[in-house]
Amino acid sequence: MESRTDDTTETEANATETDDGGGPLDGLVVIETGTMIAAGQVGRLLADFGATVVKIERPGTGDHLRRFGPQKDGTGLWWKYLARNKRSVTLDLSADAGQAVFEDLTSEADVMIENFRPGTLEKWGLAPSSLLERNPGLVALRISGFGQTGPYADRPGFGTLAESMSGFAYLNGYPDRSPLLPPTGLADGVAAMFSTFAIMFALWHREMHDGGGQVIDTSLIEPIFSLLGPQPLRHQQRDEIEKRSGNRSTSSAPRNVYRTADERYVAISASTQPTAMRVFEAIGRPNLKDDARFETNERRLVNVEELDAIIQDWMDDHTREEVLAIFEETGATVAPIYNVADIADDEHYRAREALVEVDDDTLGTGVVQGVVPKFSETPGSVDHLGPELGVDNDAVYGELLGYETSFREELAEREVI
């Protein structure tokens, strides 16, 4: 655009090098637009490892995530978590001038992330195909409820719908009760993880095989479906539909949640024959190894009611700490059922830096999950929590795009930014 200054090349370099995060993605420029969880989770994962993630929000209102869920004095905690390490700029994509700015932004980017309803970008004249014409190396991620194609593509989509239609809810819960939805954005999170490694696959192709950019189409419904194991194969080969089994497994036993004498809970998983035998040792019943009801996994599954009753009887006489100590001594597999307060107090979580405390202008300090996975040479970091709306307008539009101050002021007056 004519409003650029003459030193954009130098300022672009400065803009991508000034982020504090470092990490393996240092220098990668990502434009994130859209709202709520799935797209935001992708941007968060990339930002954690050093990418410069420019989060586009609507002027005046910002992302719905700012007001979603629990808040502290009007500050959305989901926003503080998912927008960490990002730069916030405001931009009205429905305005012609805003669309021109967006084209400039994506021309300077490696990755563009959006999760609008299919057809929205096209309505604004911002179809990924046209963005790729200006920037042939752009990797454009599109997240939607049901994907960009297919008979359901135009339907509005949320994680709850994906959790319902993917087969997850049907399997989740107890056989004598209704299907159970997860209490948090599971489908969004799973789709975000699939999308993040898809972006890295596309970047590898671009960099290592002299390929150009491309469009990635992620639905919310397919990633969580793909985690359900051999359900389609089981249906096709055995004409079976797996039913809800509560905390039990249809593949191995014992596997369940048990209440201890102090009214707390532990989970046991014995997915292999040796681990099952160690459970029998732990509960003081080594004779069960030779009991015809329990000597093989197949027999344990058939007689799981009796097996669970034996284990629960033993649990009734032991506190959770006693259970954990005995199981650890025998090498049997067990874990306590934790809430978030338990996690915060656990020495292993602390040693792994699974929770980090971050200074924040509005919260004072905020405790969030740390960066995962852990890298030996180029670890990521949490440098700041979700920023105030539009706080990085001057840095991004001035430094990255080289827009003159007068032009930025004009865009602001017209409420384009």
Q: Which residues of 286-310 are buried (b: 16+ CB within 10 A; e: fewer)?
A: eebeebeebeebeebbebbeebbeb
Q: Which residues of 208-243 are buried (b: 16+ CB within 10 A; e: fewer)?
A: eeeeebbbbbbbbbbbbbeeeeebeeeeeeeeeebe
Q: Which two tokens stand for residue 133?
A: 């014409």
Is the preceding omega at residue 179 within 30 degrees of 0, hence cis? no
Q: Which two tokens stand for residue 279?
A: 């459970």
Known catalytic residue at 188: yes
* Vertex 208: Cα angle to 207 and 209 (nearest 5): 105
CA distance 289 to 312: 17
Is the preceding omega at residue 274 within 30 degrees of 0, hence cis? no
Q: 48, 63, 110, 188: which one is catalytic?
A: 188
CA distance 364 to 386: 13
Q: Which residue has the tokens 């586009």?
A: 56
Indicate the SS3 state at residue 291. coil
What amino acid positions are annotated as catalytic residues? 188
